[in-house]
Amino acid sequence: MAVEYRVLGPLEVLIDGAVVPVPAGRCRVLLATLLLRPNQFVSVDELVDRLWEGEPPSSDRAHKTLQMVVVRLRQALGEASCVQTARGGYRTELDPSTIDLTRFRALVAAGDFAAAVGLWRGPMLSDVQSDSLHQRDVAPVTEEWLRAMERRIGADLEAGRAADLVAELRGLVVSHPLREAFWAQLMLALAQSGQQAQALAAYQEVRSLLAESRPMRLISNTAARCRRRRCRCLGRVRKSSPSWRRCTTGFAPNTTCCEQ
């Protein structure tokens, strides 16, 4: 019997490739919380706080209800049940290779960013309703994925696949408009694929966007980062595309992207 747990997208449990239905509501919140910390202890108090979004009923009632949720989850998972009782809490007991999150992190550690981001089925845990889960647990993992995506795209750019990346990067800057790395990669991909005018347009767009969206006290730091990214971008593109210099005439290399 092959069991698989997936959290890098909608919550899924599979047995031999067949989906095992997970009850909605607190059962999903409980399972997701435990799976995001595979084989780690999670206290009853923390699980109660998570399941009731920080506003639980009386302690006795909450603990009894949690026990009922655990029983219901175990029954639903059947042979795929991985929830174990521990003193003062619960934990999952599973082979790390059976959960996509652990495989993702192992692939990132090995430098195989393409395979790592290929496991992403996001938005992560979109079918689990819990603000605290998404703020405390999902957001950090999403940041791990974004960084892995940046590394994968960087490798593709180095391999000369710029033209194939433009559409993907345009989608990423729409989904993550304040992530400067994706804008820098988009500009580089456009320039390397012979679309210098569009690269300059993207630069102007992100400069305006960051200037309008960032608090004034952060503008100088953001501008410095933008300047470094842009200078690296221009330097690399000039080597691969002589026409870039003509397109950037009158556009000073030390111009900061957040200055008007």
The CATH number linked to 63 is 1.10.10.10
Q: Verify that 10 and 80 share a domain, yes or no.
A: yes
Backbone angles phi, psi at 164, to 5 degrees: -75, -15
Q: Which domain-ending residue is among 159, 176, 201?
A: 159
**Single residue among 159, 177, 201 that ends a domain in this structure:** 159
* 117 and 186, same domain (yes or no): no
Query: Cα separation of 163 and 141, whole Å?
Result: 29
Give the chain's residues under pLDDT 50. Answer: 216-220, 222-223, 238-260
Domain count, the chain: 2
**Joined tokens for residue 44:** 């009853």
| CA 19/CA 17 separation, integer angstroms | 7
Domain boundary among 159, 194, 216: 159
Pair 154, 176 in one domain = no
Residues 104 and 222 in one domain: no
Residues 29 and 60 in one domain: yes
- Give the per-residue pLDDT at 246: 37
**8 Å CB contact between 182 and 173:** yes
Burial class (CB in 10 A: 0-12, 13-18, 19+), 74: middle
Does one domain contain both 4 and 72?
Answer: yes
pTM given for the model: 0.81
Are both 132 and 191 inside the same structural domain? Answer: no
Which position has the token pair 């994706």? 182
Query: Does 184 share its domain with 239?
Result: yes
Mark whether 174 and 120 lie in a shared domain. no
The token pair that represents 54 in the structure block: 């920080």
User: Per residue in 34-83, pLDDT tens?
Assistant: 999 999 999 999 999 999 987 878 888 899 999 999 999 999 999 999 99
3-state secondary structure the chain: CCEEEECCCCCEEEECCEECCCCCCHHHHHHHHHHCCCCCCEEHHHHHHHHCCCCCCCHHHHHHHHHHHHHHHHHHHHHHCCEEEECCEEEECCCHHHEHHHHHHHHHHCCCHHHHHHCCCCCCCCCCCCHHHHHHHHHHHHHHHHHHHHHHHHHHHHCCCHHHHHHHHHHHHHHCCCCHHHHHHHHHHHHHCCCHHHHHHHHHHHHHHHHHHCCHHHHHHHHHHHHHHHHHHHHHHHHHCCHHHHHCCCCCCCCCCCCC
Q: Are residues 79 and 129 in the same domain?
A: yes
* Domain region containing 251: 161-260
Residue 155 and residue 51 share a domain: yes
| Same domain? 41 vs 83 | yes
Residue-level pLDDT at 260: 32
